[in-house]
Structure 1
Amino acid sequence: MSVILINPNSTEAMTQSALHAARAAAPDLNIEGWTSKHGPVSIEGPEDGARAIPPLLDLVTRASNEGAQAIILACFDDTGLSEAKAIAKCPVLSIGQSSFVLAALRPGSAAVITTVEDAVPVIQQNIVQQGMAFSVTQVLAARVPVLTLEDDPEAAAEAFYRAAEGLDEGISTVILGCAGAVTISERIDGVLSQKILDGVTSAARLARAVIA
């Protein structure tokens, strides 16, 4: 059976972008991409996250029952993570938590640059609850809608560059805080001096470890 990457929103293009990045990061794994067709078109804060959870959990149950080796939740807000872990019979990885884990193994401090301001408190809370505040010390918003990452990646990258001007001194790792940011990771990596992590790549690499 495959590793199942589930996009909790209903935008198929984001699923395909995330799937491409996951397969590139773990080419030895058989990774499938599923889209939550009854989820919101994007997740930009707690209200969207709450709407996304019920249909997401339906897909988690299906993937688990069909024998998935692991499940990747492709939403940086870690939407539905605790609920998914409670019902799945296989490892469940989220892209937010996965990137925090890898950042914690690197020297220095890490910062998240996410899309919209409404996502900032959600991510900050996750960092604290997951015990990662010692490593991930800053969360910034690029103030760009999630879907711009698909529709106009050049404009999205410019917004992330501008947000990076506010990075605290001593930040050595920048985490791109949205599944859709896989479309701009190479652009960002070529400009910023910090190590760049994206959550989808992080989760795919950790999936290799947990099912080895």
Structure 2
Amino acid sequence: MSSKFLAKVSLVLMLFYLFPNTAYSNVSLSAIFGKHMVMQQNSEVKLWGWGKPMEKIRVTTSWDNDTLNTVTTNNAKWSVMLKTPEAGGPYSIKIEGYNSVVIDDILMGEVWLLSGQSNMEWKTSFGIFDCSEGLHCEKADLPYFELAGEDGIWFSAQAFIKDDKVLVRSEEVRNPVNVRFAWANSATPKLFNKDNLPASCFTAIDF
């Protein structure tokens, strides 16, 4: 390795340590924030990103025209807490530093985070199979089923299996309109199919 090459490498490293700001880009956002996104309504949402160390950041929201000010840390990170309005939109957010970034077409609504196994990525094009075959229960009775009428009041219900179907009834609910199963933190699986896969909790209410 030549001495000229070593001298060039040493010079580059020296410039990097003398001028660390050049190693960072201008103000930017985390990849989870972008146009056409939905934010949780009536809440406080953390917005964060990166910039040059000690860069002054201004965040302006269109729903209240409020401007929040912060300063990027020595690690080039910044964050603000945004108070979101009720469901509606579209809105926009403008982030300004040495440069500016605008996120538009933002809607406010309900945001749910789902998690599970890798089979959550199963596509309908792969095929949909009937998992209700061979329904059975560990005991004669089938617990954790509830019925509700038009008044929305839930009552425990009797349930039994017939021809791979679950029939549910309750003396307290003469005209049921909604049904749910295992809708409690303490509920344990009691309903299985032929492959002994447990039924997950569910409700027929249209949220």
Structure having greater relative contact order (Cα 8 Å, sep ≥ 6): 1
TM normalised by structure 1 equals 0.19
Could you say which structure has the larger radius of gyration? Answer: 2
Q: Which has the higher helix share?
A: 1
TM normalised by structure 2 equals 0.19
Q: Which has the higher strand share?
A: 2
